[in-house]
Amino acid sequence: MSAVRPRYALYWRGPFEERVRERLRPGVRILDVGSGALPAISRAELPAKSNYVGLDISAAELGKAPVGAYDETIVADAATALPELRRSFDLVVSWQVLEHVESTEPVVANVRSYLDAGGSFVAMLSGGLSPFALINRLVPQEFGRQLLERLTGREPVTVFPAHYDRCTYRGLERVFSRWSDLEIQCYYRGAGYFRFNPVVQAAYLALEDRLEHARSRRFATHYLVQAIR
Ligand SMILES: C[S@@+](CC[C@H](N)C(=O)[O-])C[C@H]1O[C@@H](n2cnc3c(N)ncnc32)[C@H](O)[C@@H]1O
């Protein structure tokens, strides 16, 4: 049903990958924040002499990544400043992680300090005011996991707690206010969460169509951020 909307026909990771690819060049130093089991960039795509570091709060998640996916891994909370990483990267990437950190501000400040002059941060995250996020915030965490399993078939271990701190258009503008350049793109693609019932999904899609039509920044389901240090 959702496939009839052009926005659902697009390859979902396409815009993020395009922004990342634009910044790949020989020798590029990349940090993937919250990379866990799935590196944002595959080994085949990495340019010659690049250095690709995966950072995640969970050693177990990093351990699930394909062998040799990263040149180096760091087990750490992205909110904890690691002075040894200061000015060490040209590019920091992060796919669906910022909504999972307890406090976005220190994470973004750390990312900025890890970038060298002119370096970029490219991140995709879920919006904190989308209908699904609002439901997710209202229900207790464990119940939310079980609900998601029931509704979408996702295994509970693949569902990470989401806090959505500053995960709104204005919240992001504030958190990135010190960066020299910022672009935030809005996406409206939350129908997958409502596929358990065609009637509910149709109602959700009608609402989402209106949000997209109105170009609502506030209620976008996802944000693609690209910022320059
Ligand atoms: C939804 S997963 C995304 C993983 C990967 N980026 C991907 O594309 O599949 C969220 C990841 O963020 C990690 N994470 C959550 N909070 C974090 C934090 N404060 N610092 C670092 N990593 C964190 C989780 O362990 C998990 O691997």
CATH for 187: 3.40.50.150
Question: 38 CA distance to ligand 1 centroid (A)?
Answer: 9
- How many domains, in total, are found in the chain? 1
Tell me if 12 CB under 6 Å of ligand 1. Answer: no
- pTM of the predicted model as reported, rounded to 2 decimal places: 0.92
Segment 86-131, tens digit of pLDDT: 999 999 999 999 999 999 999 999 999 999 999 999 999 999 999 8
Tell me if 171 CB under 6 Å of ligand 1. Answer: no
Question: Both tokens of residue 106?
Answer: 């220190």
**Where would I find the beta strands (DSSP E) of 111-179?**
115-126
Tell me if 159 CB under 6 Å of ligand 1. Answer: no
DSSP at 160: -
For residues 48 and 36, give the distance between their C-alpha atoms in angstroms, rounded to a whole number.
23
Tell me if 20 CB under 6 Å of ligand 1. Answer: no
Tell me if 45 CB under 6 Å of ligand 1. Answer: no
Question: 140 CA distance to ligand 1 centroid (A)?
Answer: 20
Answer whether residue 2 shows pLDDT above 60.
no
**Do 125 and 98 touch, CB atoms closer than 8 A?**
yes
- Residue partners of 8: CB distance under 8 A and separation at least 6: 2, 189, 191
Question: 33 CA distance to ligand 1 centroid (A)?
Answer: 7
Question: 165 CA distance to ligand 1 centroid (A)?
Answer: 15
Instruction: Identify the domain containing residue 56 by its residue range.
Output: 2-228
Answer whether residue 7 shows pLDDT above 60.
yes
Segment 37-58, tens digit of pLDDT: 999 999 999 999 999 999 999 9
Residue-by-residue DSSP string for 57-123? S-HHHHHTSPTTS-SEEEE--TTS--GGGTT-EEEEEEES-GGGSS-HHHHHHHHHHHEEEEEEEEE
**Where would I find the beta strands (DSSP E) of 104-218?**
115-126, 181-187
More confident residue, 82 or 2: 82
Q: What is the mean pLDDT of the chain?
A: 93
**Do 4 and 59 touch, CB atoms closer than 8 A?**
no
At 20, is the pLDDT very low, low, confident or very high (cuts 50, 70, 90)? very high
Termini Cα distance of the chain: 41
